[in-house]
Amino acid sequence: MPISHHVTLTQFLISERQRFPKASGNLNGLLLDIAVACKAISSAVAMGELTGNGGAVAEEGGNINVQGETQKKLDVISNRVFIERNERCGHLAGMASEEMELPYQIPKSYRRGKYLLVFDPLDGSSNIDVNVSVGSIFSILKGPDDGRDVIEADFMQTGATQVAAGYAIYGPTTMLMLTVGNGVQGFTLDPRIGEFMLTHRDIQIPPDTNEFAINASNSRFWQAPIKRYVDECLKGKTGPRGKDFNMRWIASMVAEAHRILMRGGVFMYPRDTKDPKIAGRLRLLYEANPIAMIMEQAGGRCSTGEKPMLEIVPKELHQRIGLIFGSKNEVNRIEKYHREPITPKSDEPLFAHRSLFRD
Ligand code: AHG
Ligand code: MN
Ligand code: MN
């Protein structure tokens, strides 16, 4: 079979750079190192139990990360791969990761650059042992360029300031979805030559959908606007939406984001009353913001429910936040419901004495 005729990631980045004649090429160098990290993680994930890393809990350290979650071996391996593949590129002032409490200082033996790399090395890792698609999420910000150590405050930038963002999804095919602020491009890894090939150019998310994703087991904790939105979807043709909806929940946000990027939809992990001490399940800097940049660059929307995600000013590195993203008309509708507080009516299926789903 001939090697595909597609443009490689490298060729794409070179052509993109030509749009900025003064560009130093540092961002391209960093993106290519991130792509190598994703290829290495793809290979480690694909080996699964063959290397004993199928879903095993990490042995190193206390294996409870700063999130209070049990780390899988592959969380630790993926984190190390991101560090090792990117710390030498000479383009980074520092890094931050879901799996590390503090920012990572680039060793003094390596040249430091002007970018900050923030990442979730393995998203959806609770799915590793059941062989469901997982992924890596990354966000690139401008950092200090005087070679000093980075501090948490350097990372407290809104999502709107991201220079680039993207994710890799390790599924039946490994793909890299990337935006450098000029639309969203999708690259498919050709395992025959180990290259990411441009297969999805200028992706656009359909503005409407009939598919929503939410963890319905949390329905008793949802706030009224979310209950209203989901209930209207559940009422289908007979309800105010006048059409039937489909529901998905993969518990791997990268997989949900990819489905939405490919065919539209809406994902909700809203702030709820389950644990009033935390503002949501997902993290702002390395999950919500990069996904928000991807979604908005592809013509979709991303919101906390109240506010556009990209406007949120972070207060701390591992800050959690309610996250809603996808087809713009659905996200706009959910934001509208947040502006129109309602009191739930007792005949709504969600509040009926019977279960969430009418028996
Ligand atoms: P991570 O594996 O990086 O901790 O992220 C998992 C996240 C996200 O991928 C997914 O949407 C969500 O957790 C699933 O949460 P529930 O298990 O509560 O459904
Ligand atoms: Mn994650
Ligand atoms: Mn993770």
> What's the rounded Cα separation, in Å, for the pair 335 and 206?
18
pLDDT confidence of residue 318 = 97
The residue among 176, 200, 224 that closes a domain is 200
Q: Give the position, in ligand 1's atom list, of the atom nearest the Cα of 218.
A: 18
- Residues 284 and 258 placed together within one structural domain of the fold: yes
Domain-embedded: residue 206: no
The residue among 200, 230, 256 that closes a domain is 200
pLDDT confidence of residue 349 = 55
CATH at 303: 3.40.190.80
Q: Are 170 and 39 in contact (CB under 8 A)?
A: no
Residues with CB under 6 A from ligand 1: 69, 98, 120, 123-126, 215, 251-253, 269, 281
Domain-embedded: residue 355: no
> What's the rounded Cα separation, in Å, for the pair 220 and 329?
25
* pLDDT category of residue 21 using cuts at 50, 70 and 90: confident
- Residues 247 and 148 placed together within one structural domain of the fold: no
- Residues 186 and 219 placed together within one structural domain of the fold: no
> Does residue 46 have a pLDDT over 60?
yes
> Does residue 87 have a pLDDT over 60?
yes
Q: How far is the CA of 124 from the centre of ligand 1 (A)?
A: 5
Domain-embedded: residue 72: yes
Q: How far is the CA of 125 from the centre of ligand 3 (A)?
A: 6
pLDDT confidence of residue 54 = 73
- Residues 224 and 160 placed together within one structural domain of the fold: no
* pLDDT category of residue 354 using cuts at 50, 70 and 90: very low
> What's the rounded Cα separation, in Å, for the pair 174 and 168?
7
Domain-embedded: residue 347: no
What global pTM score does this model have? 0.93
Domain-embedded: residue 47: yes
User: Which residue type sits at 142?
Assistant: K
* Domain encompassing residue 67: 9-200
The contacts found for 296-300 with CB under 8 angstroms, 24 or more apart, are: 297/179, 297/181, 297/182, 297/183, 297/184, 298/179, 298/183, 298/184, 298/203, 298/204, 298/205, 298/261, 299/204, 299/205, 299/207, 299/328, 300/205, 300/260, 300/261, 300/325, 300/326, 300/327, 300/328, 300/331
- Helices then strands, counting H and E runs in the chain, come out as 7, 15
> What's the rounded Cα separation, in Å, for the pair 99 and 261?
26
* pLDDT category of residue 355 using cuts at 50, 70 and 90: very low
- Residues 194 and 221 placed together within one structural domain of the fold: no
> What's the rounded Cα separation, in Å, for the pair 38 and 44?
10
pLDDT confidence of residue 358 = 45
Q: Structural domain tally of the chain?
A: 2
The residue among 200, 235, 267 that closes a domain is 200
Residue nearest to atom 15 of ligand 1 (CA): 251
> What's the rounded Cα separation, in Å, for the pair 79 and 75?
6
CATH at 139: 3.30.540.10
Domain-embedded: residue 43: yes
> Does residue 118 have a pLDDT over 80?
yes
Residue nearest to atom 7 of ligand 1 (CA): 124
- Residues 44 and 115 placed together within one structural domain of the fold: yes
Q: Give the position, in ligand 1's atom list, of the atom nearest the Cα of 69.
A: 4
Q: Give the position, in ligand 1's atom list, of the atom nearest the Cα of 125.
A: 2
Mean pLDDT of the residues in the chain: 92
- The backbone torsions φ and ψ at residue 269, rounded to the nearest 5 degrees and listed phi first, read -125, 80
Model confidence pLDDT, tens digit, residues 178-226: 999 999 999 999 999 999 999 999 999 999 999 999 999 999 999 999 9
- Residues 90 and 216 placed together within one structural domain of the fold: no
Domain-embedded: residue 106: yes
